[in-house]
Structure 1
Amino acid sequence: MADKTSRKVTAHDLAAPGPDRIRNVVLVGPTHSGKTSLVEAMLVHAGAITRAGAVTDGTTVCDHEDGERVRGRSVSLAVAPVVHAGVKVNLVDTPGYADFVGEVRAGLRAADCALFVIAANEGVDAATRRLWQECADVSMPRAVVISKLDHARADPEGVLVATQQAFGGPTGAKVLPVCVPTGGGVAPLLGDGADDPRRAELIEAVIEESEDETLMDRYVSGEQIDEKTLVADLEKAIAQAGFFPVVPVCATSGDGVAELLDLCVRAFPSPLEHRAPEVFTPAGGSAGVVTCDPSGPLVAEVVKTASDPYVGRLSLVRVFSGTLDPDMRLHVSGHFASFFDLPDHEDHDEDERIGALAHPFGAHQVLASRVVAGDIATIGRLTRAETGDTLSDPDRPVVLRPWAMPDPLLPIAIEAATRSDEDKLSGALARLAAEDPSLRVQFVAETGQIVLWVVGESHADVALERLRERYGVGIEQREVVIPLRECFGGAAQGHGRNVKQSGGHGQYAVCDITVEPLPEGSGFEFVDKVVGGAVPRQFIPSVEKGVRAQMERGVRAEYPVVDIRVTLVDGKSHSVDSSDMAFQTAGALALRDAAAQTPVLLLEPFDEVAVVVPDELVGTVMSDLSARRGRLLGTDQVTSPTGTQDIVVRAQVPQRDLVRYAIDLRSMTHGAGTFTRTFAHYEPMPEEIAKDVSPRA
């Protein structure tokens, strides 16, 4: 182990000389798999901290943001760099809980290699399998750590087999250990003196990925392939996502930590080998290819945004090209709406001058004089930059295609607790949305509610806690109101009489209408069949205006009326007392009178859902959807990249029965199920349910 002499981490320690001396590694895996403990063990080994959880001044280093823990779980990513063998390794620690997959995807975007941490006493869960598939879809280099070797129920051999089956298919192809636990620690298999039955299997797998076609023949003929050649081929195989090494590590004792750091430095890809994201002009045209060159044009991306009560907004950025200098001027492009069709997320382009630069060190910042391509840094004073935005040269602005965020499918309705909170709420929500693209803010005009769309309950807890604690806004949660519609159940006639005489000018307007229901989606039609001037021409639009106003207010439960044809057939007027407002009122009264003559139906919105689950859970999901008044449309079989067979169950379900579905599906499938939802149509609500609907507030 390295010397633990206490000293302060400086900018000199963390300054990378060039992209070839940087490794960006994101740690992913289930909650309580030991990711943060592993990061701390690596920091201790490198001498960056004196003990797990503490820097040299006694404060924490791997803490995530203040208050950013829910039920003991980390809920945001944190970056902690170590320097090993002259190479800077940026360790990006991410949350393990499924609600915060947005933070995980941000960490994946910032990194060049993903390190999957699997506890020796647990194994691989469904969410981790899905994340492996996401990485496979973009050919992300990956490695595996089997952690918690000292746990009382640790079964590293069993977990290795489970990992190989989950990530490499039934044969476990190309998911192989490069180190093995021994009685006194961990032994590497590629070392010249290694003697283990798995060594031959590992060497053959590495050689199979080699570009040297003679290497296998030489090995089979008995030639001893030197370690340097094997490591070089291993690095290429990992960088090309063709081989996935497994390392056993015990963070408590430090066993395997040195071997893992050696693997990071010697075999993980540098930023020079990172496949850059697509680059466009702000207008949407192609902007060529980005190369990891410190002297090239600036291209960086905001992978996380946070608000600090003392220094304001902080932006965590990954630099893909060029070099960042303090106080430089740059262009900020945000185009989430254009790429992902998000109407509630405004695109923006502006120039800004940045503040100080810093190397992130957990919850701390170490000032930086410059940050080169391939590195990760924090920037202050970027007032408009949001998570997912692109930073570039003002003379050559570009846009990186943002990473796909999880679709938030759990709605929660909120309102300000007091009038003063109401004044602060809109600004706080804007900052919250800028920090977290996996959260969407929707103002529903039909119900007057503010709805936050979140990934799950813990995500909701964090969002509300940030509003209250970080932004000082009192918030109360309300039941989500589903926007309904009203429609006429049959044809009817209506009479509107607005006659008032109280001295001076009075009000006089009478109109007779017929109302006919129209097919769904037809909208509103107004027909004038008045003859003989019973209603003067100038007041006919007034009748229509009054009818439209009453349609918006509703005629049964104060929800909008849709899909009707209203025909004005007769009326009366007065030469002095008739007016525009009088006939508007008469038109509204006539529609209300017609509604009293025929049943008025409540229409509820239905969504089409597609639920993806393992085959053994299909029956459970279908029964649950039927209990939610869903209509099953059918099933399809899909094959995941790891070879497992899943079933897609399609159904149409009322929105009021989907409010908590994101929570319920996770519970009934133990996290193995996912779903999407899209609006389908409106249809009549059963009367036994409609009779209990309260009028719209």
Structure 2
Amino acid sequence: MRAVPLSAVRNLGILAHVDAGKTTLTERILYVTGTTYKRGEVHDGTTVTDFDSQERDRGITIFAAAVSCSWDGHRVNLIDTPGHVDFADEVERSLRVLDGAIAVFDGVAGVEPQSESVWRQADRHGVPRIAFVNKLDRAGADLDAAVESIRNRLHPRTLVVQLPIGAEDGFVGVVDLLRMRALVWADGAETAVAGPIPESLVDEANRRRRLLEEAVAELHPAALEEFCESSTVSAETLRSALRELTRTGDGLVVLCGSAYRNRGVEPLLEAVVAYLPSPSDVPPVRGEYEGTEQERPADPSAPFSALVFKVTATATGRLTYLRVYSGTIRTSEAVVDVDTGRTERVGRILRVQADRHTRVDSAVAGDIAAVVGLKSARAGTTLCTPSAPLLLEPPVAADPVVSVAVEARTGTDAERLMSALTRLVEEDPSLVIRTDRETGQTLLSGMGELHLEVAVEKIRRDHGLDVGVGRPRVAYRETVARGVSGFVYRHVKQDGGAGQFAHVVVDTEPLEEGEFEFRSTVVGGRVPQEYVRAVEAGCRDALAEGPLGGHPVTGVRVTLTDGVTHSKDSSDMAFRTAGRFALREALRAGAMTLLEPVVEVTVTVPESAIGVVLGDLAARRGRVLGSTMRAGTTVVSATVPLAELFGYATRLRSRTQGRGTFTARPTGYAPAPEVRAVG
């Protein structure tokens, strides 16, 4: 599949807040590298990566799309990720298989809420990044202000390697502070013209080069040594130091440009190949099998191992997207799904270009590819050669926070609807299907209102089903406000056969940090260790439904303090049952608090509408955190219960004559306004 050495491969993602220009940047990269012959535009619905009909209708990225291109002898595999918070799980699964990323920031807005969220996701996965400040051609764009917001909100050591030439409509190029040259893009030009730095910027360029040298010398020993010896740092030393600082995460290289006007894309690609790591630069992947931890190097001759990060159903079959970490996989070879132990045969291997595919004979370590023929693999599945299994850590799916009831309009479509829902969940693990025990309704749960809208619309378009949808409902939680001590539960069952006996004494108390903690203070062997584990398992069973309304329970510590066993009738099952009912009754005996999901919203509105917007937020039980002025608009940050945000987008547009926008990101749970207690 690959005609370049492993050291010349770059697997990276494009990360940003919605509307920061990720997809436009991806399009320009494909165009500049000669992968496409025409520049696609988001507003025209002609982009390569936003190929789904809903993405083109809505003008946003919904599904992560992989593309590949070549630059300066390197193979660059790109994943364009969504920027909307409802699709953060797509970003999570993509980051799990990437070696690096480009973080895109709006030159006017700087760091926005979802910029911060995806940055934290990349931190968790240890993904090296470079930053690209986009849209410098817009009114109000300011590179220094954007960099300051990056520094203050994300806290990296920023290393700015470019200086803009011109501002807003007059932005025409950049000064390369490493080579101390100007790169200028004339109107309509597809490549930059290199030349001397304009006289008006020479002093500023020299000043910023000096600041860059000092900043790098503070962070890198070789640069510091050269700086102390000669009071300067050469371009080659700077480049080498920036590469190491990027890969260790100790520094963030910052570039700038305007993707829409095709300015700054080539220097960005040069930075990608110069600073971001190849698969051979990252540590060997680590996994576990039968309690033994192992490493697999990114070597085509090593045993095959890969992680599935995406599954899609197409008209031509089921596509399984995977990152190959070690070894080589060829067409018709057998692979084992380590999670299930099932062995399957690979039908075809495809190089992916968004919704277009090229058939290849093999995929090797470092490749991102799609395979046809696997029926059981899901996102997070580990695939290995049958003779050398290894279980890799899967990406963690977030818990859904919003649910809607879905039903087929006709009885004949009920079975087709369930089949469509099952396929949806296969493709998107952040969606969950369950049946309401009280109403018998089928509930579809997801990460937000837009997430569920997209899922339902996908059912309608792809499967031709007329689906009825109920009003969205949020996922409440219950927590302990006041625990109980010495709660006794005795489980005795005798029905003619083997009996069941378990006697437990438990304490419950609130747990400030964490969801659940179990411990035992039983002494003298009054409850054997295997029964203690059974009690813990029973307590975990009881967390599924709390006493207030059957919502999951969180934030509770349970302590097993005493117990009694029977020589014949005690068993794991008896103590598990006792643990379940003991915790259930103990929660009823104490006091419980209902929790509701809360989100942080960032509302951008004209100054004239700020009063109306603040009043509306207050009516929705919002708590304003602060506000800032930005280019004639006011940006308000507030925390609002998720249940109060249904329909807010329409209300905000109507109250601001269509000029107001907002974004939201989950921040956790908070007590609901009417605190109900039991006991």
Same fold, TM exceeding 0.5?
yes
Aligned to 2:329: 324
3-state secondary structure, aligned to 2:82 = coil
C-alpha distance 421-277 of structure 1, shift in aligned 2 (>3 A):
farther
C-alpha distance 429-614 of structure 1, shift in aligned 2 (>3 A):
closer
1:231-275 Cα deviation digits (max 9, x unpaired): 122111101111111110222332211110100011111112334
1:26 to partner: Cα distance: 0.6
Gaps of 5+ in 2: 167-171, 182-196, 198-204, 477-486, 495-548, 551-590, 603-614, 623-636, 653-660
Q: Does residue 1:420 correspond to 2:412, yes or no?
A: yes
Counterpart CA distance in 1 for 2:393 and 2:77 is 23
1:133-184 Cα deviation digits (max 9, x unpaired): 232234321111111122234233322222222222xxxx621211222244
Equivalent residue runs for 1:559-570 within 5 Å? none
Structure 2 residue corresponding to 1:199, chosen from 203, 209, 219: 209
Equivalent residue runs for 1:655-670 within 5 Å? none
3-state secondary structure, aligned to 2:35 = coil
Equivalent residue runs for 1:3-402 within 5 Å? 15-53=2-40, 61-69=48-56, 71-168=58-155, 174-183=157-166, 184-191=172-179, 195-212=205-222, 215-222=223-230, 224-275=232-283, 278-281=286-289, 285-309=291-315, 311-334=316-339, 348-402=340-394
1:97 to partner: Cα distance: 0.9
Counterpart CA distance in 1 for 2:473 and 2:105 is 41
Counterpart CA distance in 2 for 1:441 and 1:456 is 15
3-state secondary structure, aligned to 2:215 = helix
Q: Does residue 1:410 correspond to 2:402, yes or no?
A: yes
C-alpha distance 39-383 of structure 1, shift in aligned 2 (>3 A):
same
1:285-317 Cα deviation digits (max 9, x unpaired): 2341232111111111111111111x1111121
Counterpart CA distance in 2 for 1:469 and 1:292 is 41
Letter in 2 for 1:31: V
The answer on whether the counterparts of 1:330 and 1:391 sit within 8 Å (CA) in structure 2 is: yes
Equivalent residue runs for 1:609-648 within 5 Å? 609=596, 611=598
Counterpart CA distance in 1 for 2:46 and 2:124 is 39
Structure 1 residue corresponding to 2:667, chosen from 674, 679, 691: 674
The answer on whether the counterparts of 1:300 and 1:392 sit within 8 Å (CA) in structure 2 is: yes
C-alpha distance 301-189 of structure 1, shift in aligned 2 (>3 A):
same
C-alpha distance 114-446 of structure 1, shift in aligned 2 (>3 A):
same
Gaps of 5+ in 1: 1-10, 335-347, 485-519, 528-558, 561-603, 616-622, 631-646, 651-656, 686-697
1:370 to partner: Cα distance: 1.9
Percent sequence identity over matched residues? 30
C-alpha distance 363-196 of structure 1, shift in aligned 2 (>3 A):
farther
Counterpart CA distance in 2 for 1:153 and 1:479 is 40
Structure 2 residue corresponding to 1:435, chosen from 427, 432, 439: 427
3-state secondary structure, aligned to 1:28 = strand
Worse-matched range after superposition: 131-140 or 318-327: 131-140
Equivalent residue runs for 1:487-502 within 5 Å? none
Counterpart CA distance in 2 for 1:628 and 1:34 is 31
Counterpart CA distance in 2 for 1:100 and 1:672 is 11
C-alpha distance 350-154 of structure 1, shift in aligned 2 (>3 A):
same
C-alpha distance 664-146 of structure 1, shift in aligned 2 (>3 A):
same
Counterpart CA distance in 1 for 2:265 and 2:55 is 27
Counterpart CA distance in 2 for 1:380 and 1:43 is 25
Counterpart CA distance in 1 for 2:596 and 2:489 is 25
The answer on whether the counterparts of 2:67 and 2:352 sit within 8 Å (CA) in structure 1 is: yes
The answer on whether the counterparts of 2:401 and 2:474 sit within 8 Å (CA) in structure 1 is: no
C-alpha distance 69-526 of structure 1, shift in aligned 2 (>3 A):
farther
C-alpha distance 251-625 of structure 1, shift in aligned 2 (>3 A):
closer
Letter in 2 for 1:305: V
The answer on whether the counterparts of 2:403 and 2:474 sit within 8 Å (CA) in structure 1 is: no
1:108 to partner: Cα distance: 1.2
The answer on whether the counterparts of 2:400 and 2:447 sit within 8 Å (CA) in structure 1 is: yes
TM-score, normalised with respect to structure 1: 0.65
1:67 to partner: Cα distance: 3.2
3-state secondary structure, aligned to 1:76 = coil
CA root-mean-square deviation = 4.2
3-state secondary structure, aligned to 2:430 = coil
Counterpart CA distance in 2 for 1:682 and 1:525 is 35
